[in-house]
Homo-oligomer: A and B are copies of this chain.
């Protein structure tokens, strides 16, 4: 105790464990799969408030699908989902290593959170618009963006969809209905609501889905989104990815101590589903339910994806400074890839051998993609975008003052 530390009665939330401690998730209550009820989509919002405090689950401890939320989904689609998740994970691993070797300025993985994006993408229609944040690379993979295109963005090279302007991982893919990722947290959420309102305005039944981290829900934009979504009954799904951490701060600092993130919409009459985010089938089922609600003009839904950030925040982070090491191994909801794999094996639709060879295949695809991507240039080697791209797209047409500046820049 320092002598300048006064007596105080201010409450400061704390992470239950810190470096050196044994990981401890005993505070997390996991209800049985059967406890989850799946109400009709037109149920009045306040009659579903309990769902925000439960946990939508489909896979039980033996990896079997059961309960009311069990979705109808073909084995092939599940195998696709598994493949996408694996691809995301191996892609992440590869790119992370490349950053460590100095080939990339920055990288950010979604390890442990693959299902959150992949299952959602598979439950939505291709015309539905996605407003992600930076940890949903699974959406791109599931919607079929070639890995080489993702890599080109990370390299800011001549094939970069962003023309060298953004940090690695801040993808944009108009054709795939994937909105340009912002470096500023939370901004995409009211934008998604606006996109959804425009769809309704135009009288079509496309919907918008957006993702935001647990930490970022504290931004005003989240409130704007809830307000407008509620007032105009926008056909939108607001996904809160609660991976328990925001860089170094535990989710209690974001307000996770006194209520769930799924319940954040209750004050606006927006129902919330709290979902096991590492249960592929649960994410799929919850997304499908919310998408049906939205399409049926029954209003927006908040989905809290309860998951865990298995690794550091990004390549700039060192989680050993603020949380126990190997904590992911103790995470009670397991790993999404492993769980879906076991489920498929249990169904007789998959095998260890197939799994191994799939991993091999993806690994070589990733390497091949990177070899190709490098040919389009890297930050400091090979082909390079023209300097004029620095001045283009600030405006639709380059105004005089930027033309003059471009000329000056070209002159050196």
Contacts and interface: CB of A to CB of B under 8 A. Distances in A.
Interface in A199-224: 200-203, 218-224
A259 interface: yes
Interface stretch (A3-11, A138-146, A328-336, A401-409): A3-11
A233 interface: yes
Interface of A: 6-13, 45-46, 49, 53, 197, 200-203, 218-224, 227, 230-233, 252-255, 257-259, 261, 263-270, 272, 297, 299
Given A12-B232, A255-B227, A259-B269, A7 B218 contact: no
Contacts of A265: 267
6 contacts: A8-B201, A10-B232, A11-B232, A13-B231, A255-B268, A259-B269
B202 A297 contact: no
Given A49-B49, A263-B266, A265-B267, 16 more contacts: A6-B202, A7-B203, A8-B201, A8-B202, A8-B203, A10-B201, A11-B233, A218-B227, A219-B220, A220-B221, A220-B223, A231-B252, A255-B268, A263-B267, A264-B267, A267-B272
B203 A6 contact: yes
A8 B270 CA distance: 22
A46 B259 contact: yes
Nearest to A263: B267
Given A11-B232, A201-B8, A266 B269 contact: no
A7 B205 CA distance: 13
Contacts of A46: 53, 259
Contact of A8 (B200, B258, B263, B266): B200
Contacts of A10: 197, 200-201, 232
A352 B224 CA distance: 49
Nearest to A232: B11
A264 B233 CA distance: 17
Nearest to A261: B267
B227 A9 contact: no
A322 to B, nearest CB: 18
Contacts of A254: 227, 231
Contacts of A203: 6-9
A259 B252 contact: no
A10 B268 CA distance: 18
Contacts of A7: 203
Contacts of A270: 258
Nearest to A223: B223
Contacts of A222: 223
A226 to B, nearest CB: 8
Nearest to A10: B200
B269 A258 contact: yes
A255 B233 contact: no
Contacts of A259: 45-46, 230, 266-269
Contacts of A272: 267
A267 B45 CA distance: 14
A324 to B, nearest CB: 23
